[in-house]
Amino acid sequence: MYGHMPLPEFLVLLKLAGDAELLHPGLARMLGATAVIGRPEALDRLRAQETPAAIGRIRFHLGRCARRLDLPSLRWLVAGEQGPSSLALFALLTGIRPPQYRGTALDLPHDAKGFRCCRLLIEQAPALRRPLRLLAARMHEPEVARWAAVAEAWSDLCAQMDHELPDWRAEAREAPVLRSMLVCFRELDPACFVHSSRIAA
């Protein structure tokens, strides 16, 4: 579905959809559509079919910056599961702000759903693993200190997620301990890292 649709009409459309049909925001984003609704298998086929064209569009949109991204990173940018945290992480690791991202570096993951998107990013775009390790060494920079702490604890966060949610790739449910760990990073005072690094120096 393309173009503006009044909310009442949109709600009627959702009611007409079958129980097996899903609303897919990610695919709508890829296609530049208002909404995409369909059966999971049909949506998967449509995503696979449209991904090459979407990669071409994002390359054109990014211009020269696109040359800094490998194909898996571009594929994630157009077809990956995304949220504010994973988009913020992508921007930090690549230096390229995704066109669809409207947030800030403060968009840290605060629950399993947010961290799942971040983890899928690193898994689906392996070239970003090295920048993630480099990010972990930047805790002396106030603007990225919280993210650097997350990067430094990445292995521990992944291990906890594996323990609480062995099937995390399929879906994100509540993970109380992981959530508590992530909340700690959001509450960190970046000034403490800067002060500590100066003392160490």
Question: Do 192 and 93 fall into the same domain?
Answer: yes
**Which of 66, 88, 108 is at the close of a domain?**
66
Question: Do 82 and 180 fall into the same domain?
Answer: yes
Question: Do 62 and 80 fall into the same domain?
Answer: no
Strands (E), the chain: 22-23, 37-38
30-34, 99-103, 159-163, 183-187: the lowest-pLDDT one? 30-34
**Which of 11, 40, 66 is at the close of a domain?**
66
pLDDT interval class at 69 (50, 70, 90): very high
Question: Do 16 and 78 fall into the same domain?
Answer: no
Task: Return d(Cα 179, Cα 112) in angstroms, integer.
Answer: 6
For the segment 8-35, what is each residue's pLDDT rounded down to a tens digit?
Answer: 766 666 666 666 676 667 777 777 777 7
Question: Do 89 and 167 fall into the same domain?
Answer: yes
Helices (H), 40-128: 40-62, 71-79, 84-94, 112-124
Residue 191: is its pLDDT beyond 70? no
Mean pLDDT computed over 164-168: 95
Residue 105: is its pLDDT beyond 60? yes
Question: Do 192 and 118 fall into the same domain?
Answer: yes
Mean pLDDT computed over 72-89: 94
Mean pLDDT computed over 80-105: 91
Task: Return d(Cα 119, Cα 125) in angstroms, integer.
Answer: 10
**Which of 66, 88, 123 is at the close of a domain?**
66
Question: Do 94 and 180 fall into the same domain?
Answer: yes
- How many independent structural domains does the chain possess? 2
pLDDT at 195: 47
Task: Return d(Cα 90, Cα 88) in angstroms, integer.
Answer: 5
pLDDT interval class at 59 (50, 70, 90): very high
Question: Do 186 and 98 fall into the same domain?
Answer: yes
Question: Do 73 and 56 fall into the same domain?
Answer: no
b/e burial code for range 58-93 (CB count within 10 A of at least 16 → b)? bbeebeeebeebeeebbbbbbbbbbbbbbbbbbbbb
**Residues spanned by the domain of 165:** 69-201
For the segment 119-148, what is each residue's pLDDT rounded down to a tens digit?
Answer: 999 999 999 999 999 999 998 888 899 999
